[in-house]
Amino acid sequence: MPRLPSFLSPAAWVIVGLAAASTIGICLMRPPASRALQFWIFAIQHKPFYQTAIAGWNHTHPDKPVELVLMSGTALQQRMMSSFFSGTPIADVLEVERSNIGPAFAGPLEKIGFVDLTDRLRDQGLLDGINRPSFSPWTSRGRIFGIPHDVHPVLLAYRADLVEAAGIDVSRIETWDDYFRVMAPLQVAAGESGGPGRALVVGWPSDYYIAEMLLLESGGAIFDARGRPTLNAPFNARFLARLATWFTGPRPVARSVDWFSASGHRMLLDGLVVGLPVPDWYAGIILKLEIPGLAGKLKLMPLPAWERGGRRTSVWGGTMLGIAKCSPRREDAWEFAQYLYLARATAEALFRRNGIVSPIRSHWTDPVYDQPDPYFCGQPVGRLFLDQAPHVPVRTSSPFNEQALTAFDNCLISVTDYAVRTGRADPATLVPEAQRLLDQAQRDITALVGRNAFLSSPP
C-alpha cells in the first residue's frame, strides 16, 4: 500500500483533499463574467416572486439581464454608504429599508448617491398614482429618491376569541379611551389569579417602535417638514404624558411582548395580551408564518384614535427601490424598476405571499385584496389595510431620526419612571415633567443636527 509522505499528518491530508476537490469545484462552477444589471435586496421574503419577475424580464429583455443579490440589511447599508463615500462597487438598483436610508440623505442634495426620481415620477404621473404619504421617507429636501415598495398601514389585531366570548362589541370603540374602557373586563392584573395576568395592548416604555407608531398616529412629529427637530412641541409633551400612563398604576393597560422573539410569540399564543398594533407586513409575515397557532383567533380593526374623529391608523417600516447615481445604465435600471414595482403581478404576489399592500393606487381595486382570510376569521384583510392606506401619516427622512427617536423614547422612560415614583396617574400632572425632559432632548438633537452643515443651513 503506498504511503503518504510523512511531513503531513492524516488530518492535513484530508484538508489537502478538500482543497483539491473544492478548487476543481470552484473552477467548474465559475460564473460567467456578469454584464447583468445588479439588483440588491435585503428581504428573503421577497426573493421568490422577484426571481419569477426577473426571469420574465430576462426572457423579454435578453440585452438587459438583471441579477438578483440577497444580503443582510446591515451589509446592504454598509456597502451602499461605502459606495456613496468612496466609489466602491454598488448595484444598479437596490431596495433599502427605512432604518437604513438615513445616512444616505445626510450630505448635500446633489451628492446623494441615488438618482433623483422626482421629475421622472411626475412625468409618468406616478406622483398621483402612488399613495402620496408613502413617498415621505424617501424624500429629502423636496426631492424623491426612491419608488415606495409599500404603504405599511397599521391596524389593531385583537384576540377575537376572548373578546367575543366576553360579549364585547368592538364597534363601540373609536378612541384609545374607548378601547381601554370597553376591553376592561378582559384585563387581569399580574398575580390577580395566580398567573401572569392579561394586559389590553402591547407596549412598553423602551420600545421606540410603538412610541413612534403611536406618536405619528396622534399627529405628533419629532421633525418638521424642513427636517428641524420638534421634539419639545407641547403636543408631544401631552402625548408623552398620556402614553406614560399606559405603563403605570396598579393595573397597567400595556405589557411588554417582544415583537420578534419566541417568548413574545408564546405570550400572544397564551392570550397574555388582548390587542397589538400591526402593520400589514407584521400581520402577513410574523403573525401568519411564525404564529400559525393564532389562526382563527385574531381579528383586525382600525387603530383606536387619540381623539374623536382622529386618525385611525399609523405606519411602521417601509422599503424603497432606488437607482444608484453611479450606475452606467440608469435608463435600463429605471425601466426595470418600473417593470418590477408598477406591475400588477408583483403587487398581487407581494400581498399573497407577504400580506403587504401595494402603494400603487390603481391596484387597490384588485379583487385579491377582498378575499377573506381564514387566519383573521375570514376578514378581507387586504381591504381593511387599504381602507387606511391613504391616511397613513407622513414621516421624516431625517438622517437623525434614529437618534431623535431614541431621545424621545428616553423621555418616555423617564416620564414613566417619574409617574411611578410620584404615584401620579393623571396625564395632566405629568405634562410639565414631560415638557422639561423633551426640552433637554430638543437641545441635544438640535446640537447634533447643527453639526451637519448641509441640513442645518437654511435652503
Partner 1 sequence: MNARRLARVLGRPLLYAFLVLFAALTAVPFAWMITSAFKSGGDFFLSLFLPAGNGFLGVAWDHLTLDNFRRLFREVPMARSLVNSVFLASVTSLFATLCGAMGGYALSRFEFRGRGLLTSLVLGTAILPVPLLLAPRFELIYHLHLLDTFAGYLLPQLAPAFGVFLFRQAMLNHIPAEIIESARLEGCGEIRIFFTLVLPLVRPMVGAFIIITFLGVWNDFIGPQIILQSAGRQPLAVTLAGLGSNYGNDYGMMMAGTLVSVAPIICLFLLLQKEFISGLTSGTVKG
The residues of the shown chain that bind partner 1, judged by CB under 8 A, are 5-12, 14-16, 18-19, 21-23, 25-26, 29, 31, 34, 42-45, 47-48, 69-73, 75, 79, 88-89, 97, 99, 260, 262, 265-266, 269, 281-282, 285-286, 289-293, 317, 354
Dihedral Cα 290, 292, 298, 299, nearest 10 deg? 80
Q: Do 330 and 113 contact (CB within 8 A), yes or no?
A: no
Q: What angle is formed at CA 244 by the lines to CA 239 and CA 250, rounded to 5 degrees?
A: 145
CA distance 305 to 308: 7
Helices (H), 206-261: 208-218, 234-244
Helices 208-218 and 401-422, packing angle to 10 deg: 90
Residue 71 C-alpha cell reads as 444580503
Cell 411588554 sits on residue:
256
Short-list 188, 357, 177, CA closest to 283? 357
Short-list 77, 73, 75, CA closest to 43? 73
Residue 183 C-alpha cell reads as 376591553
Short-list 391, 363, 385, 361, CA closest to 279? 385
Backbone torsion region of residue 296, taken as left when φ is above 0, otherwise alpha when ψ lies between -120 and 50, otherwise beta: left
Spacing of C-alpha 390 from chain mean position: 17
Nearer to partner 1, 43 or 189 (CB): 43
CA distance 153 to 277: 10
Residue 453 C-alpha cell reads as 452643515
Helices 234-244 and 401-422, packing angle to 10 deg: 50
Give the contacts of 12 (CB within 8 A, at least 6 positions apart): none
Q: DSSP class of residue 142?
A: T
Q: DSSP class of residue 451?
A: T
- DSSP assignment of 288-314 equals III-GGGTTTEEEEEPPBSSTT-----
C-beta atoms surrounding 284 within 10 Å? 25
How far apart, in Å, are the Cα atoms of 123 and each of 73, 119, 128, 133? 31, 6, 11, 19
C-beta atoms surrounding 165 within 10 Å? 10
